[in-house]
């Protein structure tokens, strides 16, 4: 596995692979890899000639009171995991390499951002679309791989790619879960033992919400989920929302592709999860 830290070297590598007729799969991450990330690598390896993973903790997508400095980092462990998973290139740039000067052009995500996590994280998705625009231009992938757990991010990124006609395909991979249903996350390490025992209830609440939505209203389903989580966990509910997907708008009617999403705050870990599914029109 080749490790690249220079933007120019990354561009040169991709240009050479493209000249050789190879397809490039891209897995953008912030590191501290877990099985969810490795599932993205597995998908890329199965579909593309070359797989490039980036590890970059992007400062632009962290707010002033968020956990940029505390975000878990372990590049030695990540390098080993990436190599074992079949990554061909690990792109590990510094912040100065990605943002060498004050950006003369600012990017703003104008839709799909004022709900869910975006509602309380102003500027977060501006940081996401900014760094991905840079990374997409450096890596020049044919396909880029994202996990469904970050469904709002996927919706925003699809909007970016469609709006600016990026010549690449966004591939969404199902959320990877623990045996008990908890979505894999780099932040799970911050859960106490008691919180870790409670956390699988989030996925259970999502599945129960999906079943309930078939025969009751959106508001009733949300209140039922809030009651379940509030009674059985110590977590503070940030939001529970039921929206169209990928538009992320309120449901005019209960049909089509729907997402039930939630976020909760344990003492030291904020967890998100979702279910995306098709719902037939009520008769």
Which pLDDT tens digit goes with each residue over 11-50? 999 999 999 999 999 999 999 898 999 999 999 999 999 9
Whole-structure pTM value: 0.90
CA 149/CA 69 separation, integer angstroms: 23
Instruction: Say if CB 270 and CB 149 are below 8 A apart.
Output: no
Predicted confidence at residue 201, as pLDDT, reads 97
Instruction: Say if CB 72 and CB 189 are below 8 A apart.
Output: yes
Positions of CATH 3.30.1300.10 in the chain: 186-273
Residues of the chain with pLDDT under 70: 281-283
Instruction: Say if CB 255 and CB 174 are below 8 A apart.
Output: no
Predicted confidence at residue 253, as pLDDT, reads 85
Positions of CATH 3.40.50.620 in the chain: 2-173
Whether 268 is catalytic is: no
Nearest to 281 by CA among 244, 251, 247, 256: 256
Instruction: Say if CB 239 and CB 119 are below 8 A apart.
Output: yes
CA 266/CA 198 separation, integer angstroms: 10
Assign domain 2-173 one CATH number from 3.40.50.2300, 3.40.50.620, 3.30.1330.10, 3.20.19.10. 3.40.50.620
CA 128/CA 60 separation, integer angstroms: 7
Predicted confidence at residue 153, as pLDDT, reads 95
Predicted confidence at residue 283, as pLDDT, reads 46
CA 27/CA 35 separation, integer angstroms: 13
186-273 under CATH 3.30.1300.10, yes or no:
yes
Predicted confidence at residue 13, as pLDDT, reads 98
């Amino acid at each position: 596995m080749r490790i690249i830290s220079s933007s120019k070297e990354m561009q040169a590598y991709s240009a050479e692979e493209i000249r050789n007729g190879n397809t490039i799969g891209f897995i953008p991450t912030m590191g501290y890899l877990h099985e969810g990330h490795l599932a993205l690598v597995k998908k890329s390896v199965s579909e593309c000639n070359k797989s490039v993973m980036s590890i970059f903790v992007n400062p632009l997508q962290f707010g002033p009171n968020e956990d940029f400095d505390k975000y878990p980092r372990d590049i030695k462990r990540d390098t080993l995991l990436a190599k074992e998973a079949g990554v061909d290139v690990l792109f590990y740039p510094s912040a100065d390499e990605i943002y060498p000067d004050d950006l003369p052009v600012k990017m703003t995500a104008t839709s799909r951002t004022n709900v869910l996590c975006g509602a309380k994280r102003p500027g977060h998705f501006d940081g996401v679309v900014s760094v991905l625009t840079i990374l997409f231009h450096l890596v020049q992938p044919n396909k880029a791989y994202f996990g469904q757990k970050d469904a709002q991010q996927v919706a925003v990124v699809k909007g970016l790619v469609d709006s600016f006609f990026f010549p690449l395909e966004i591939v969404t991979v199902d959320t990877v879960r623990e045996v008990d249903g908890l979505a894999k996350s780099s932040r799970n390490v911050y859960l106490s033992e008691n919180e870790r025992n409670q956390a699988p209830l989030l996925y259970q609440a999502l599945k129960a919400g999906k079943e309930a939505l078939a025969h009751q209203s959106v508001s009733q389903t949300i209140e039922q989920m809030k009651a379940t989580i509030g009674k059985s966990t110590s977590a503070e509910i940030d939001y529970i929302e039921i929206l169209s997907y990928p538009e992320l708008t309120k449901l005019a009617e209960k049909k089509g592709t729907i997402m039930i999403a939630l976020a909760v705050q344990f003492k030291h870990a904020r967890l998100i999860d979702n279910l995306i599914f098709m719902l037939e029109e009520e008769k």
